[in-house]
Structure 1
C-alpha cells in the first residue's frame, strides 16, 4: 500500500522539489501551501507522515504542530524541513513530538531516509 505524505510549504518551487523527490521514492503526495490549508486536509484521509516548514505566513509550522496534536492525527510523525535553525523552535517542536528537524538547504536523500524510518514503504 502506498504511503501518503502531506507537504506543507509556502514556496511552490521548493514544494515541487520535495514532491518530486518523495514521489520518486514511492510516496503519494498531498500538498498544502500553508498551515491553514493543511488544517483543512486533516479530514480523515490517510496521512502517514507530514513534512512541514516552520516559517510561513499566517499560522507557522510550530503552531500547526500544536494544533495537529489536538486532532485525530496527533500521533502522525512530523518532519520539519525549514531554514529555521533556532534552538528554541527545535526544542519546542521536539517537546511536541517532532521526530526530525532538517535545515534547508538539504539533501533529498537525507529527507527520504528520514521518512523511510518513520514510515517505511512495505
Structure 2
C-alpha cells in the first residue's frame, strides 16, 4: 500500500483518510510513513462519524477536489454506506475484517483484493468526465 500511495502522490493525486478512530489512538495505528503521504485526515472528532457522509465531504473540501473526481476506499460496510451517501465511487478493501459479500451488500462498486491494489490503477474507477 505504501508504494501505491507514493505512486499516487507522484501522479499528483490528493489522498486522505476518514476514520472512526480518535486522533490520539490514530497515532498508534497509522504508520508514520503512511501518515506523511496523506494530505488530510478526518477523525470522529472532526465530523459526525461514518456512516454519515460528513467526513468524506470535509475531506473533499479540504483537498479542494471536485466531487466527481473522488472515490473512497474502505474496509467496512459503514465505509461503503458513507461513500454511497456522499455519492462517491465506493471501493471495498477485502483485506479488512469484513467479507466481500458484506461490502457488496453495503454498496461497494468494486472490490479491491489486496493492499497492492492501492495505486494509480484506482483512477480507472472514476467516471469519465465529458470535455463538452
TM-score after normalising by structure 1: 0.50
What's 2:112 paired with? 101
Partner deviation per Cα, 1:29-61 (whole Å, 9 max, x = no partner): 33234581784331572351222232xxxxxxx
CA-atom RMSD in angstroms: 3.6
Report which of the two has the higher share of helix: 2
1:52 aligns with 2:74: yes
Gaps of 5+ in 1: 55-61
- Decide which structure has the larger Cα Rg and report it: 2
TM-score after normalising by structure 2: 0.48
Gaps of 5+ in 2: 1-11, 127-132
| Aligned 8 A contact 2:80 2:103 in 1 | no
Alignment of 1:55-70 (within 5 A): 62-70=77-85
1:118 aligns with 2:125: yes
Partner deviation per Cα, 1:82-104 (whole Å, 9 max, x = no partner): 422524313314xx24323344x
Report which of the two has the higher share of strand: 1
What's 2:97 paired with? 84
